[in-house]
Amino acid sequence: MHSIRRFFFPPTIPGEYRSNFLHLYLDIGWFGILSGSSINFLSVYATRLEATGFQIGLLSSMAAAVSLVLAIPAGRWLETQNINAAVFRSSVWYRLGYLLWVPLPWLFGEQAQVWALIAIALLMAVPLTPLSVGFNALFAAAVPPQWRAHVAAVRNVAFALAFMLSSLGSGYLLEHTPFPQGYQILFGIGFLGAALSSLHLYFIKPVQTVAPTLPPRPQPASIKRALSPGQQLQTAIRFDIWKTPFRNTLLVFFGFHLAQFLAMPLFPLFQVRQLHLADNQIGIGTALFYLTVLLASTRLNEMVRNFGHRAVTGISVAGLAMYALLLALSKSPADFYWTSILGGLNYGMLIGSYANYLLEKIPIEDRPAHLAWYNVILNASILIGSLTGPLISQEIGLGAALILIALLRFLSGLAILKWG
């Protein structure tokens, strides 16, 4: 018990940081409950409602489409806000959407439910945009640089434990509860996790002497009047960021996320229609995946100290190829389980390193604008990948599409190592 406590709170952590760290751990733990239940099984539920690959792609990409439009305005808005209050309010409005999933089977038929889920995703994307942009800024302000790798590793462990337990429990629940009532209970559990996650976000406060968000850089009224409408637009959108070294970071992250999200709509289709996995088997596979995420997270600090965030990120992104390739070659539930175990080892390193690598590349005094552009890149990747992946699979087949995507993932990791 003492060693577990020391892992979460080493004695060298200053007292003023402990409250923030605790709430960051509890936030991600409850989010793990949401992810292992509602989010984990949403695409499976849509697949069992006979959703097409295109509809599953839309389900993943609606939020991205909205965020593409709103990311830059959200960054500008966050520059004028108290960052922790803005993140908390955005999370509450966003996570209320999970509650809307629960009554859908009472209200609509199967196809209508699929389209209702897509419409809800569209609405949830509005508050999700400032939440996504703002949380990274809040994390950077609440956690000093020397503790970020540690906090990220502990959050990975907390998330993995919560995801693993909720995924196993969700699979068991769905196997022993009639369809669709089991999914309604599952969605209710997910909403509870979402609500408690938001509660802990409320208590996370910036502690750095440098504020995480600064007001817009003032310009004399005479200068503002002298700017043409085009120049004013460029100032608002911050195209100047593309003239900095951060441009390379944005481009390699675009390649990474595109290769990542091309496969996302294909995974549930392959699991249900090619491997014919039951809900409890999908739950076991995802639990095994996050068990090894947990194990990998315990070595993250050592890896980052030895190689740095960028190298760990690049190697892990290249390693994403393994999951897509092995899944494409799977023939049985046992193959799926081994693929999940190996994929989780790589993913545990990735999710603990890439956000910190991103923050290392961003000037501390200008985080919201840089993070807004990162969210534009992220959501463009989600939108393009989620809609293009199913089209590729229609042309060449699910297995061949996953093998092609595995190659793209490997190349995107090499790009981070060379140009990131």
The total number of structural domains in the chain stands at 1
Q: Return the structure tokens found at 143.
A: 């956690």
Q: Please report, for the chain, how many H helices and E strands are present, in that order.
A: 19, 0
Neighbour tally for 179: CB within 10 Å: 13
Residue 221 in domain:
no
Any idea which of 204-213, 246-255, 284-293 has the lowest mean pLDDT?
Answer: 204-213
Query: Would you say residue 406 lies in a domain?
Result: yes
Residues belonging to the chain: 420
Element (H, E) at 138: helix 110-142
- C-alpha distance across the termini of the chain, in Å: 40
Q: Is residue 217 part of a domain?
A: no
Asked if residue 304 lies in contact with residue 351, where contact means CB atoms within 8 angstroms, the answer is: no
pLDDT of residue 302: 82
Asked, for residue 179, whether it belongs to a domain, the answer is: yes
Closest CA to 22 of 208, 153, 200, 206: 200
Look up residue 329 and give its two tokens. 């070659």
| pLDDT value at residue 222 | 43
Q: pTM higher than 0.75, yes or no? A: no
Q: What is the pLDDT of residue 4?
A: 57
Tell whether 218 is covered by a domain.
no
Mean pLDDT of the chain: 85
Q: What is the pLDDT of residues 219-275, one digit of tens each?
A: 444 434 454 545 444 555 778 888 888 999 999 999 999 999 999 889 988 998 899
Rounded distance, CA 307 to CA 304, Å?
Answer: 5
Nearest-10 Cα torsion for 222, 227, 232, 235? -80
CATH number for the domain that contains residue 124: 1.20.1250.20
DSSP 289: H
pLDDT in tens, 117-172: 999 999 998 999 899 888 988 988 888 888 887 888 788 788 888 988 898 899 89
In sequence order, what DSSP letters do the residues of 41-98 get, joined into one string?
Answer: HHHHHHHHTT--HHHHHHHHHHHHHHHHHHHHHHHHHHTTS-HHHHHHHHHHHHHHHH
Please report which residue ranges of 215-365 form alpha helices under DSSP H.
Answer: 221-226, 229-237, 246-262, 266-269, 279-297, 300-307, 309-328, 333-360
Please say whether the beta carbons of 38 and 168 come within 8 A: no
Is 267 within 8 Å of 383 (Cβ atoms)?
no
| Phi, then psi, of 140 in degrees rounded to 5 | -65, -35
Domain membership of residue 229 (yes or no) is no
Residues 66-106 have pLDDT tens digits of: 887 887 788 888 888 888 899 999 999 999 999 999 999 99
Query: pLDDT (tens digit, 9 = 90+) per residue, 311-321?
Result: 999 999 998 89
| Residue 300: domain span | 13-205+242-419
What letters, b where the CB count within 10 A reaches 16 and e where it falls short, cover 300-336?
A: beebbeeeebbbbbbbbbbbbbbbbbbbbebeebeeb
- Sign of the C-alpha dihedral computed for residues 50, 51, 52 and 56 taken in this order: negative
Which pLDDT belongs to residue 233? 46
Is residue 303, in this structure, part of any structural domain at all? yes
What token pair was written down for 208?
A: 């750095």
The Cα 245–Cα 181 span in angstroms is 52
Mind listing the pLDDT tens digit for each residue in 373-415?
A: 888 888 889 889 988 998 999 899 999 999 999 999 999 999 9
Looking at the chain, the whole-number percentage of residues with pLDDT higher than 90 is: 41
Residue 137 backbone phi and psi in degrees, to 5: -65, -40
How far is it, in rounded angstroms, from Cα 216 to Cα 77?
Answer: 10
- Is 231 part of a structural domain of the chain? no
